Structures are given as C-alpha cells and as structure tokens.
C-alpha cells in the first residue's frame, strides 16, 4: 500500500519519523512515498506547491501530512492551474486543500481516560468545511488604514459538507448532527449554510438535527459536552472549535484530523508546526499518529487502525510514558516506541517475531 508522506517543518519531521515507526508495527505492507513540500519543493522545483507535487498527491490518493510553519501575515501563494490561470491562496495549508479539492476536514475530539479528566467521555466529531468562508483568501488592503476580507458561502459546498456529515453519522452509528453558525449576524452567508444543513437533514429522518450559535456552542461544549455528537460548521468556526476541543481532551498534541476529497485525501494533526519546541525531540506524536490511524481506516484497514488507536489509548491511560504537554518527561520517540510495542504485542504473530 503506497502512502504519500509530507514531512513538513517545525516539529513535522520528528513526529513523522516517530509515527511511521508505529504504523509499520501494524505489519501492513506500507510503502512510504516521500513528497517534497514547502522549502524542499522550492529547492527542487522552485515553488512550495508545484504541479508535480499536486499530481503526486493525486496519484498516491492517501497521504500523511505533518504540519507546516505558517508565516503570519505573509503566507499567501499563487498556484498556476492546468489552463494557465493563477489562483492565490491565503496559506500553503489552504492551497494543498483547495488544489486537491479536499472539501471536509473531520476532526474527532475523543477524551482519554486517565488524561482528559472530566472530559474523558467527550466524543464529538467536528466536520469543518474547508473550501470557503473567510479562508477563501479574498482580502485587500485600503492603504494602511483599513483592510477587507470576503466571506464566501455557496449552496454547493454547504450541501456537500452537510451530506458528508449525515452520511458519516449514519455509517458510524451517531445519533445527531448539529450545525454551528452565527446566522443571527451573518444572515446571508451563515444563514445559507444553516438552511442547506436543515434541507439535507430532511433526507436523514433517522438522524436528529439541531443548530447552535457558535459562541453558545463554545460555552456548551465546555459545560455540557454530551450535548454534541457530530457538528458541521463553516471553515473558521471549525478551525477554532477544534483547538478548543483539543484543550478539553488535554493537548493539541492529541487532536487528529483528515481532509477528505473525491480523488485524494490528506491526513494531518489539528495542530501547527510548534516552532517553539521544534528540534528538541519532545513534541507529542499522538495527533499525527491518530491521523495515521484515520488514514488506515479510510484505506480499508479498519483492524489495524483500531489496533493503533487501542494501543495509543492504553499507553496514555497508564500514564507512565507521557510527553511534556501531558505532564510527563518522555520524549517523542519514547512515547512512539511504547505505542509501537503495544501494537506489536496485540498481534500474536508479530509479538513472537
């Protein structure tokens, strides 16, 4: 099975090598296809996301992507399209998603006994729309006195993410989908998003549907997390709510994610490249590892995916090998090694090998 690997920068390379070790411990015949991105792609092709990289990602179909450093205020980049036109994106992460037409970013938030305290039963999946909203990158300056950004919502994108969320709920035995929005202020954009979700909900009478203002949802996920099951939300709210949820679980280092498209899908942690701890070997590899488990599941290897998740939760729950973000002293490789040992031990053929 060929899997693209984008090792990213910041903590990206160190957590990537740790994660590949654990995924190899499943015994699956995985072939890693290294795909250059950012600085490495600039060196090789003169652009951080050249056509060759987009084509390579389409060809492998599934890729594990480590985080990339985002230069605040100067991350915009333009990509030439097949017809010769150019599209400008607000950041490299945004460009990858949109060049590959990845339309939904599912981010599961699941508490871990022994780690998450009063949120150990938290079990919410954030379905973040990732093609539109203010992240469409249509911003401009008005001299140095003002700046404007456009928020885009289309019926097509809202219906697609809503349908994905309801299908996901059905496939995974979930009871409810909640739409999170701010339609009391953004009447037209979030109003359309909410209307589309409500319309799609009527096609799924077996799944409950409700909606909350995003600000109320931030309050309620802290006070009464059991209210939420699957939540579907525009790009920016989903980005923010999933980091908030990672805080409830216990660390950004525990929050995985996927970016699903029709041709290719890219699996990545919710967190960024954490430049403050990069190169020290102390980052938590679990968010990227659980993203790898989502990749295995997406590729039809549910048994191996479940084994990685079980091993991860067991090692974390024991509390003996924890990275610093979780209050421990273990380094990245020690935590990954403990999880890999547990994965091997769960497979009798491999533990005796």
Shortest spacing between CB 135 and ligand ATP, in angstroms: 12
Max CA distance (Å), the chain: 68
Q: Given candidates 253, 257, 292, 337, which one binds ligand ATP under the rule CB under 6 A?
A: 253
**SS3 for 80?**
strand
At its nearest, how many Å lie between ligand ATP and the CB of residue 253?
A: 3
By the rule CB under 6 A, 14 interacts with ligand ATP: no
Nearest Cα neighbor of 52 from 79, 31, 77, 75 is 79
CA triple 134-137-139, angle to 5 deg: 90
Residue 273 near ligand ATP by CB under 6 A? yes
Task: State the minimum distance, in angstroms, from the CB of residue 72 to ligand ATP.
Answer: 8
Query: What are the phi and psi torsion angles at 57 (to 5°)?
Result: -65, -40
274 binds ligand ATP (CB under 6 A): yes
Backbone angles phi, psi at 73, to 5 degrees: 85, -5
Out of 74, 82, 206, 276, point to the residue binding ligand ATP (CB under 6 A).
Answer: 276
Q: Does 23 bind ligand ATP (CB under 6 A)?
A: no
Query: Which of residues 283, 294, 308, 321 is near ligand ATP by CB under 6 A?
Result: 283
Tell me the two tokens of residue 272: 């960024």
Using the rule CB under 6 A, is 277 a contact of ligand ATP? Answer: yes
Return the residue nearest ligand ATP (CB atom). Answer: 272
Please report, for residues 52, 208, 347, the alpha-carbon distance to residue 256 in angstroms, rounded to integers and kept in the order given: 27, 25, 24
Q: How far, in Å, CA of 152 to CA of 143, rounded?
A: 23
Q: Which is nearer to ligand ATP, 122 or 274 (CB)?
A: 274
Spatial separation of the C-alpha atoms in residues 89 and 67, rounded to whole Å: 17
Stretch that binds ligand ATP, among 78-86, 194-202, 276-284, 297-305 (CB under 6 A): 276-284
Closest by CA to 158, choosing from 266, 241, 264, 232, is 232
Number of residues that bind ligand ATP (CB under 6 A): 14
Residues 318 to 337 in contact with ligand ATP, rule: CB under 6 A: 325
Least Å distance, CB 301 to ligand ATP, is 24
Q: Of 272, 281, 317, 328, which one interacts with ligand ATP (CB under 6 A)?
A: 272
DSSP string, 256-321: --EEEESS-EEE--SS---TTTTTTT-S--HHHHHHHHHHHHHTT-HHHHHHHHHHHHHHHHHTSS
Min CB(183)–ligand ATP separation in Å:
26
Question: Residue 339, interface with ligand ATP (CB under 6 A)?
Answer: no
**Position 234 contacts ligand ATP (CB under 6 A):** no
Residues that bind ligand ATP (CB under 6 A): 11, 70, 252-253, 271-274, 276-277, 283-284, 287, 325
């Amino acid at each position: 099975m060929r899997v693209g690997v984008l090792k990213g920068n910041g903590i990206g390379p160190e957590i990537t090598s740790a994660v590949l070790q654990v995924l190899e411990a499943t015994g699956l015949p995985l072939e890693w296809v290294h795909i250059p991105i950012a600085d490495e792609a600039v060196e090789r092709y003169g652009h951080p996301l050249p056509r060759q990289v987009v084509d390579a990602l389409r060809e492998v179909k599934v890729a594990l992507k480590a985080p990339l450093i985002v230069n605040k205020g100067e991350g915009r980049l333009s990509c030439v399209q097949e017809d010769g036109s150019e599209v400008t994106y607000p950041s490299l992460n945004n460009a990858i998603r949109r060049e590959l037409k990845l339309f939904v970013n599912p981010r599961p938030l699941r508490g871990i006994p022994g780690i998450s305290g009063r949120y150990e039963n938290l079990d919410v999946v954030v379905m973040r729309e990732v093609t539109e909203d203010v992240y469409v990158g249509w911003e401009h300056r008005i001299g140095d006195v003002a700046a404007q950004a456009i928020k885009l919502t289309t019926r097509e994108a809202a219906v697609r993410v809503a349908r994905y969320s309801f299908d996901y709920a059905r496939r995974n035995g979930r009871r409810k989908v909640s739409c999170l929005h701010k339609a009391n202020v953004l009447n037209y954009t979030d109003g359309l998003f909410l209307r589309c979700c409500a319309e799609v909900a009527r096609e799924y009478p077996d799944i409950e549907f409700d909606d909350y203002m995003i600000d109320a949802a931030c309050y309620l996920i802290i006070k009464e997390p059991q209210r939420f099951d699957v939540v579907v939300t525009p790009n920016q709210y989903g980005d923010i709510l999933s980091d908030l949820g990672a805080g409830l679980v216990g660390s950004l280092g525990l929050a995985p994610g996927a970016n699903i498209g029709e041709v290719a899908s890219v699996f990545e942690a919710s967190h960024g490249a954490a430049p403050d701890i990069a190169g020290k070997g102390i980052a938590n590899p679990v968010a990227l590892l659980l993203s790898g488990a989502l990749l295995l599941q997406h590729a039809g290897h549910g048994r191996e995916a479940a084994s990685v998740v079980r091993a991860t939760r067991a090692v974390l729950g024991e509390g003996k090998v924890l990275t610093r973000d979780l209050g421990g002293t273990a380094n990245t490789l020690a935590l990954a090694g403990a999880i890999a040992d547990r994965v091997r031990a769960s497979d009798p053929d491999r533990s005796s090998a």
